[in-house]
């Protein structure tokens, strides 16, 4: 049975979460009707994350990895994953497992009718400070681009690979994946998914990269949207 989906998991100093990722995904793979595998993207970790990733992947075809030489950021990690994936579908989830891979099956049930199916977090289990940062960032984005996306920060997503490979990339792109799919006239379904407290490791986000950088990147997206090229070929004759 061939793999249908590859799930990108960016990793930056998440050594305390990797054993749990392995056990959770191994159990999920045994129960899901969709044949899937994990692609770790080690974003220049400075702890022992990569050693553990290599150990997990050794002799296990359900787990693969890419390792960056230096820390490049979340958008670069997602782009590298998309660039290297060959399965029909791409999944995405964060290494903190504040969302669960079991909810991928909810998204997969709808994916044949949409270019992407994305989650939005129901009862958020974040700290008050993190909730405030997220509200500010989402308010900025919705006010400036009005894309109709409920929770762009929710990491749980399933996207058709051919659609993902057409997404224009820039630093901060991870905040605008649904909006960038809409630029392709893609259809997106949003589904409520579970959310959990972070039980290991530390968040890499703060008020600066959640709000101030988000504001800057939103203006970059607005410029791109105003200049975006989109066309449909009706007929063609091209000699090979």
Q: For residue 165, give the CATH number of its domain.
A: 3.90.550.10
Q: Which helix (H) or strand (E) holds 128?
A: helix 128-145
Residue 162 lies in a domain: yes
Long-range contacts, 205-209 (Cβ 8 Å, 24+): 205/130, 205/133, 206/133, 207/133, 207/136
Collapsing DSSP to helix, strand or coil, 138 comes out as helix
Domain count of the chain? 1
The predicted structure's pLDDT at residue 131: 64
The predicted structure's pLDDT at residue 200: 74
In Å, how far from its chain's centre is CA 35?
A: 19
In Å, how far from its chain's centre is CA 8?
A: 7
Residue 191 lies in a domain: yes
Residue 68 lies in a domain: yes
- C-beta atoms surrounding 37 within 10 Å: 19
Compute the CA torsion angle 186, 190, 196, 201 (nearest 10 deg): 10
Residue 144 lies in a domain: no
Can you tell me the distance from the alpha carbon of 109 to that of 6, in angstroms, rounded to the nearest whole number?
Answer: 16
Taking residues 97-126, what's their average pLDDT?
A: 92
**Sequence-ordered list of residues with C-beta below 8 angstroms from that of 164, at least 6 positions apart, any chain:** 82, 85, 90
Residue 228 lies in a domain: no
- Residues 146-202 pLDDT 10s: 787 888 888 999 999 999 999 987 887 888 899 899 988 999 999 999 887 777 756
Residue 84 lies in a domain: yes
The predicted structure's pLDDT at residue 65: 97
Tokens of 85: 């994936």
Residue 99 lies in a domain: yes
Residue 224 lies in a domain: no
Q: What's the pLDDT band for 132 if we cut at 50, 70, 90?
A: low
State which residues form the domain around 112: 5-126+150-200
């Amino acid at each position: 049975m061939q793999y249908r989906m590859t799930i990108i998991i960016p990793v930056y100093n998440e050594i305390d979460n990797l054993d749990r990722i392995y056990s959770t995904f191994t159990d999920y793979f045994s129960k899901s009707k969709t044949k899937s595998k994990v692609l770790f993207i080690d974003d220049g970790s400075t702890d022992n994350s990569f050693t553990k990733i290599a150990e997990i992947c050794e002799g296990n075809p359900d787990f693969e990895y890419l390792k960056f030489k230096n820390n490049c950021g979340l958008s670069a990690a997602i782009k590298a994953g998309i660039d290297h994936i060959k399965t029909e579908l791409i999944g995405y989830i964060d290494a903190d497992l504040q969302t669960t891979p079991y909810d991928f099956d909810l998204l997969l049930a709808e994916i044949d009718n949409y270019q992407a199916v994305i989650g939005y977090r129901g009862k958020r289990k974040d700290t008050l400070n993190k909730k405030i940062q997220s509200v500010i960032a989402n308010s900025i984005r919705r006010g400036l681009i009005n894309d109709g996306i409920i929770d762009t920060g929710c990491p749980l997503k399933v996207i058709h690979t051919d659609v993902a490979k057409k997404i224009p990339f820039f630093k901060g792109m991870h905040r605008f994946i649904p909006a960038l799919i809409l630029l392709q006239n893609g259809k997106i379904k949003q589904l409520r998914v579970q959310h959990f407290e972070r039980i290991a490791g530390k968040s890499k986000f703060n008020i600066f990269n959640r709000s101030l950088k988000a504001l800057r990147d939103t203006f970059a997206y607005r410029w791109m949207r105003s200049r975006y090229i989109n066309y449909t070929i009706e007929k063609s004759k091209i000699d090979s």
